[in-house]
Amino acid sequence: MSPLTSYRQLFALSGPTYVLVAFLGRLPLAMSQLGTLLLVAGSTGSYGAGGASAGALAVANAVGSPVAGALADRVGQRAVVLAQSLAGAAGLAVLVLLASSGAPWPAQAAAAALTGLLMPQVGPLARVRWRPITRHAGADQPRLVNVAFSYEGAADEASFVIGPALVGAAAAVVAPAAALVVAAAVLAVFGSWFALHPTAHLVRRARESAPHARGRLFTASLVLLCLAQLIIGTVFGSAQTATSQMATAAGVPGLTGGLHALLGVGSVVAGLAVAMLPDRFPYEQRLRVFAAGLLVLALPLLAVNTLPALAVALGVLGLAVAPYMISVFTLAERITPPRRTGAAMTVLAGATGMGYAVGSSVAGRLADASGHTAAFGVTVTAGVLATALTLAAAPLLRAEQRRVASASVEVEALQPA
């Protein structure tokens, strides 16, 4: 079956409204990080302060998301995501007010951290819904779940294309504060809509009918996958901060969002194409290949000195990003007990946020001290670490998938007919 036919079958099961709402619901988080960086940097005159504030938001989101994911596994997504959406929108509004009033940057960083703690991770929670959505697909379900994860990887990357682009446009036409006001409105409307969508009930019913989980959530394999996501978060944070510094030095800070969005353009295309890869190409091997791709495609960033060259380099680097993340999330879904999938997905998202914080903070300091090339060195270093980690982790990930598959067969055999 062609990828296009598979996507049509998948979206027919979910309905087009769900796909649209789940996509728009994840945009505010994609907007908030760059929006915070530009807002605080503009109000304080320091990219170090901007990067630290954006990092504070990301770290707090990384800490809060797994807790929210575990709570959603226990009581359902509806109440948890609804509360987070409304509270997160209010937090963004408070951050704008503080920056507009000239509050000291530590106060702005604290508000950013509180906002990050409150904001929902719609993308990871949307991944949890696809297995229940496809539950009546019969023999096609495993294929459709894989296609769904390919779509989700592309959707996440598309959000990081559109989100920064909206931030850049708002910053150029109005002010960075306008971007966060828009993000707050989108979160209040579409985050709440995602929470209340009927697919949230499917997740709870599937959890209640699933056999009780065996073993721990934090296995060695999941920890390795969290490290893999921390590394890709470092790529995002460092590349975004270096791009911002380079655009500002060129006198066009409003282009930051558009330039960084190019990282996601190639990523979206590559993410959708992952559905074309054959099943005989296992995910642990895919992860190794795409990690090496991150390293190789990040190297040109060390040589860029003009914005057109940067645009090309970022677009090419994106070709490895979504396939890498799709491999990580798919592997995590395969090795996690069904009753704890929400926690696993949000733990991975939290790790990504931690990586963003590391990347933006370190790159921000290097950008202030030595310029964009030093900051892009953080991106390349992340590629080196990703390659080393995935080479070492592949055998363990392969063995864990076999173990979980074998355990699932045993559990099903014990269930009453």
Alpha-carbon gap, residue 85 to 192, rounded angstroms: 6
The answer to whether residue 191 scores a pLDDT higher than 80 is: yes
Q: What is the pTM of this model?
A: 0.81
Q: Which CATH superfamily is domain 3-414 in?
A: MFS general substrate transporter like domains (1.20.1250.20)
Query: What share of the chain in percent tops pLDDT 90?
Result: 39
The domains of the chain are located at 3-414
How high is the pLDDT of residue 111?
94
The answer to whether residue 66 scores a pLDDT higher than 90 is: no
Contacting residues for 185 by C-beta, under 8 A, at least 6 apart? 89
Over range 84-99, report the average pLDDT.
95
Over range 304-331, report the average pLDDT.
92
Q: 196: buried, middle or exposed (CB in 10 Å: 19+, 13-18, 0-12)?
A: middle
In this structure, how many other beta carbons lie within 10 angstroms of the beta carbon of residue 253? Answer: 20
192 CB-side CA count, 13 A = 11
How high is the pLDDT of residue 279?
79
The answer to whether residue 207 scores a pLDDT higher than 70 is: no
The answer to whether residue 177 scores a pLDDT higher than 50 is: yes
Q: Which of 103-107, 123-127, 159-163, 195-199 has the lowest mean pLDDT?
A: 159-163
Tokens of 194: 């995602």
Using alpha carbons, select from 330, 327, 324, 331 the residue that is nearest to residue 295.
324
Handedness of CA 351, 312, 151, 331 (dihedral sign): negative
Instruction: Report residue 407's pLDDT band, with 50, 70 and 90 as the boundaries.
Output: low
The answer to whether residue 415 scores a pLDDT higher than 50 is: no
Instruction: Report residue 33's pLDDT band, with 50, 70 and 90 as the boundaries.
Output: confident
347-400 pLDDT tens trace: 898 888 788 878 988 998 898 888 899 999 999 999 999 999 999 999 999 988
3-state DSSP helix/strand/coil % of the chain, to nearest 5: 90, 0, 10
